[in-house]
Amino acid sequence: MSVSELLIVRGSTDGTNTSGVVSLDSDLFYSSVSYFRIPKGAKVRIWWKKVSGEAETLFTVQYTYDVTVASPVWKDVEHEKLSAKGEISIEKRRPLILRSFRGTEAFRITWTQPTAALAYVELGVEIE
């Protein structure tokens, strides 16, 4: 039997730029981080997302096999688009699963907007 931990990860745009990397935070983090490194042999399941904001925003979940190199190669694995001011909640019956085999894998969230505005993202993340 495996043990898992469920946590809520939150982040937001900075409101002044039209693209960037979301600074992630959670009650289990000591401080905000730009990416979440997946422990060796573990897998992360993203069960739900909540996106809200003042303008159109595209949030992208990106994954890398090696975050320890000088310039990691990030691959887009999922997108969520807020098409106008408002809020959307997405729950998945089949979650997005990201695995770690060596302990160097990680994920992050980026954003792009046509005009700079505040927008927020919240993820339900299970680590097993």
Tens digits of residue pLDDT in 72-123: 999 999 999 999 999 999 987 889 999 999 999 999 999 999 999 999 999 9
pLDDT the model gives residue 2: 73
What confidence score (pLDDT) does residue 28 get? 85
Give the residue-averaged pLDDT of 56-76: 97
pLDDT at 121 (0 to 100): 97
Reply yes or no on whether the pLDDT at 1 is more than 60: no
pLDDT digits (tens, 9 = 90+) for 10-52: 999 999 999 999 999 998 888 999 999 999 999 999 999 999 9
As a whole number of angstroms, the distance between CA 24 and CA 10 comes to 6
pLDDT score at 57:
96
Q: How confident is the model at residue 3 (pLDDT cuts 50, 70, 90)?
A: confident
Tokens found for residue 101: 């085999």
**Strand 86-99 relative to strand 75-82, pairing:** unpaired
DSSP E strands: which ranges in the chain?
A: 5-12, 19-21, 36-37, 43-53, 57-64, 75-82, 86-99, 106-112, 119-127
